[in-house]
Amino acid sequence: MKITLMGNEAIAYGLLHSNTKMVSGYPGTPSSEILTTVQKLKNNLPVYAQWATNEKVGFEVAYAGAIAGVNSAATMKQVGLNVASDALMSASFIGNKGAFVLIVADDPGFNSSQTEQDSREFARFARIPVVDPATPQEAYDFTKLASEISKNFEIPVMLRTVMRVSHSREIVEIEDNFEFQDKEGDFERNIPRWAAVPRAGRLKQAYAQFDRLDKIREYNYNELIKPKIDHLKDTENLIISSGTAHGYVKEVLEELNLDIDLLKIDMPYPLPVKELKDLIKRYKKVLIVEETYPVIEEEIRSENVYGRMSGHMHKIDEMNKERVLESLSKIGLYEGENIYKPVFIPENPKMRKPNLCPGCPHRDIYFAIKKVFRPKKSIYPSDIGCYTLGINLDAIDTVLCMGASVSMAHGFAVADKNKTVIATIGDSTFFHSGTAPLINAVYQKAKFILVVLDNSTTAMTGRQSTPERVAQGIVDIKKVAEGCGAEVMEYFYKSDINETVNFFKEVKKRFEDAQGPLVVVSRQYCVLDKERVNQFLPGVFATVDEEKCVACDVCTTQYVCPPMFYNERGKIEIDPLLCIGCGVCISGICPTDAFIPRKEEK
């Protein structure tokens, strides 16, 4: 059956079509739609598909399933694997009975991520096999392949996808009339294996790991690589590629009319190094094209091998065809013109920055924080989520990684006692990794303010459910923070900036006498959250009294709401198509009260 699928949807089909019974993970662009699609597709199938509080938790829940013999998978983005890596490094020694597919989505080009790390490198570090799909079709096929290899060799297998696979759409051929075969888990006690301890137990597993890798290397050669080598035409030169990079190379070779052999590697680790080095000897020059780290290149480096390490390929950022062409030119395999040079080059093009949505309560909180805790006397650590866009309001000083706002607030409070530290974190991030540093701060009596921006959803990645949304009243941020021993103040957000500012004045007063961290739980909503938003938005649309506007920039630099812009008369105007009617600007953002309610329909 042929259907149009986004790469992440194709992976979800691949999971179900390999009888995967347990899927867990944590949302993160570009991986999020994998688990949500499994949730949509599973219908009445006995499949567990649930978001975990963080990637490590999700990995471990799913991995236990694989130990108990059911096919399982964990999904995350590349930086999520950093969080889950502790579990991975040991799971690689221990292995699994049911399949365990670790799905990691990389983000070459830093589109939505803090790093550009190549998870294939992580697979090599952990000594587990990794498959690297190039298209949504391969994402489907390789998910099934990964599941099969994992089950056969009893080892976790990584499916490494990238943004251009996960978020590409293609017509994909999937299995017709698939029938899910259910299998109950049956944990078999095997203490030396599942609970191997240092030194003897683990050493034994380490030797077994090498044997297993050798077998998979052989499999990689016989099943995946050799059939392709047999089809090579023995031209003078060779390109070896993997994943998305392959598509770029294939198009470049066609478009430049170059007669160069092209070998695609489906499983970049473990590689049959000896066989590949023999192959390399048959060619004059060999170029390695892969994204983003030189993983294959490091494994098979030889005198006639060119790529990143030899300085013939761009070092960082996403691949494109022009970069492949440039590499070919550098090593003398192409001498023609650059056909990928733009014809039209705009002068000073305006790039639109991402911004908090019109009507987003985060904006008000940041505005109020800056008003009450002046920038010169404050430090504003923040975290990972939509609210990171508070950077547009200059209301964020540091962004490191999930949960770091809390521990860094602690560190700043110790290091710089002359400033007030006021940190911001979202509800999902707080559950992900905010509690451990909060307990740390409470017991050490670190004095700072932590504002939990609770919009009851994981907004940035597409509004996945959070623990307190699903278990309303049972899992509650206020109770959790109190349970950690912190002092807590609660704010029920109102679409009136004076209310929000006055609340933070109260926070400031209370903080003067605080003995440790003061946690503020701000109960808000996400304007994209259709289930909840309408009960909160007042529907007061704004316009501008141009006679009152003195072009002072307060709204455009301190509040920064997308509908606001300067018109040709040098006055602020509100784009009526963007304004969603929160009415906050009318309530007191403008020093000269230029924002006024718009009259009903013209």
Partner 1 sequence: MRYQIVVAGFGGQGVVFLVKVLSICAGKKGYKFLGTENHGMSQRGGSVSSHIKIGDFYNPLIDSAQADLLIGLDRDEAILNLPYLKRCGSVIVNADEFPDIEADVFAVDANKLAEDRVFDAKGLNVFMLGMTLARVKNFPFSIDEVKAAIKEINPKFAPQNFEILSKAFEYEKN
The interface region with partner 1, picked from 54-62, 229-237, 346-354, 489-497 by CB under 8 A, is 346-354
Question: What span, in angstroms and rounded, lies between the C-alpha atoms of 192 and 95?
Answer: 12
Question: What span, in angstroms and rounded, lies between the C-alpha atoms of 517 and 421?
Answer: 10
What residue type is 392 in one-letter code? N
The interface region with partner 1, picked from 29-37, 148-156, 212-220, 505-513 by CB under 8 A, is 29-37
Residue in 120, 144, 167, 193 binding partner 1, rule: CB under 8 A: 167
550 binds partner 1 (CB under 8 A): no
Question: What span, in angstroms and rounded, lies between the C-alpha atoms of 588 and 582?
Answer: 12
The interface region with partner 1, picked from 36-44, 148-156, 178-186, 455-463 by CB under 8 A, is 455-463
DSSP letters for 4-22: EEEHHHHHHHHHHTTT--E
Task: Report helix, strand or coil for 517.
Answer: coil
Residue in 92, 209, 461, 522 binding partner 1, rule: CB under 8 A: 461
Query: Would you say how long the chain is, in residues?
Result: 602
Using the minimum distance from each CB to partner 1, give the nearer residue, 42 or 246. 246
Residue in 39, 50, 320, 556 binding partner 1, rule: CB under 8 A: 320
Residue in 199, 352, 376, 509 binding partner 1, rule: CB under 8 A: 352
Question: What span, in angstroms and rounded, lies between the C-alpha atoms of 154 and 159?
Answer: 15
Question: What span, in angstroms and rounded, lies between the C-alpha atoms of 147 and 157?
Answer: 7
Q: How far is the CB of 352 from partner 1 (least distance, A)?
A: 4
Angle, helices 55-67 vs 78-94, to 10°: value is 30
Q: How far is the CB of 320 from partner 1 (least distance, A)?
A: 6
Q: How far is the CB of 351 from partner 1 (least distance, A)?
A: 5
599 binds partner 1 (CB under 8 A): no
* 292 preceded by a cis bond (ω within 30 of 0): yes
Q: How far is the CB of 254 from partner 1 (least distance, A)?
A: 8
Residue in 19, 54, 92, 168 binding partner 1, rule: CB under 8 A: 168
600 binds partner 1 (CB under 8 A): no
198 binds partner 1 (CB under 8 A): no
541 binds partner 1 (CB under 8 A): no
Question: Within 10 Å of residue 382's Cβ, how many Cβ atoms?
Answer: 29
The interface region with partner 1, picked from 163-171, 425-433, 482-490, 503-511 by CB under 8 A, is 163-171
32 binds partner 1 (CB under 8 A): yes
What SS3 string covers 115-166?
Answer: CCCCHHHHHHHHCCCEECCCCHHHHHHHHHHHHHHHHHHCCCEEEEEEHHHH
462 binds partner 1 (CB under 8 A): yes
Q: How far is the CB of 348 from partner 1 (least distance, A)?
A: 9
Question: What span, in angstroms and rounded, lies between the C-alpha atoms of 322 and 304?
Answer: 22
Asked if residues 246 and 134 have their Cβ atoms less than 8 Å apart, the reply is yes
Asked if residues 578 and 358 have their Cβ atoms less than 8 Å apart, the reply is yes
422 binds partner 1 (CB under 8 A): no
Using the minimum distance from each CB to partner 1, give the nearer residue, 198 or 349. 349
Residue in 354, 375, 485, 591 binding partner 1, rule: CB under 8 A: 354
248 binds partner 1 (CB under 8 A): yes
Residue in 60, 298, 322, 476 binding partner 1, rule: CB under 8 A: 322
351 binds partner 1 (CB under 8 A): yes
350 binds partner 1 (CB under 8 A): yes
Phi and psi angles of residue 198, each rounded to the nearest 5 degrees, phi first: -65, 150
Alpha carbon distances (Å) from 475 to 118, 142, 384, 442, 470: 35, 38, 21, 20, 9
30 binds partner 1 (CB under 8 A): yes
Residue in 134, 174, 225, 393 binding partner 1, rule: CB under 8 A: 134
Q: How far is the CB of 168 from partner 1 (least distance, A)?
A: 4
Place of tokens 């170029």: 287
**For 526-571, where are the E strands, in sequence order?**
542-544, 564-566
Question: Within 10 Å of residue 78's Cβ, how many Cβ atoms?
Answer: 27
Residue in 56, 246, 312, 463 binding partner 1, rule: CB under 8 A: 246
353 binds partner 1 (CB under 8 A): yes
Binding site for partner 1 (CB under 8 A): 2-4, 6, 29-30, 32-33, 111-112, 134-135, 164, 167-171, 244, 246-248, 250-251, 318, 320-322, 339-346, 349-357, 386, 389, 460-462, 562, 576-577
